[in-house]
Amino acid sequence: MADILRSALAHRPLAVVSVPELREGKVATDNDRILAAELARAYRPVAKQNIRLYGAHRVDAVVWQRR
């Protein structure tokens, strides 16, 4: 599924929302690594918000803005 992630990033979105933390039991995927590299290269974090995402599980969602 890396190709569809690359196609989304190729649009050079102004903002990206991600959950950088590796939740319990989650292993970093190829997509996680591709995104992390792109975020480090072209984006800066501008906000963090703790939010309920899956069921009762709360995570820190980070807003990234294109540099």
Among residues 8 and 40, whose Cβ is nearest to other proteins? 8
Among residues 12 and 41, whose Cβ is nearest to other proteins? 12
Sign for the CA dihedral angle at 60, 28, 1, 5 comes to positive
User: Least Å distance between CB 40 and other proteins?
Assistant: 14
Measure the CA–CA gap between 66 and 25, rounded to whole angstroms. Answer: 30
Point out which residues bind other proteins (CB under 8 A). 1, 4-5, 7-19, 29, 31-32, 35, 46-47, 49-55, 61, 63, 65-66
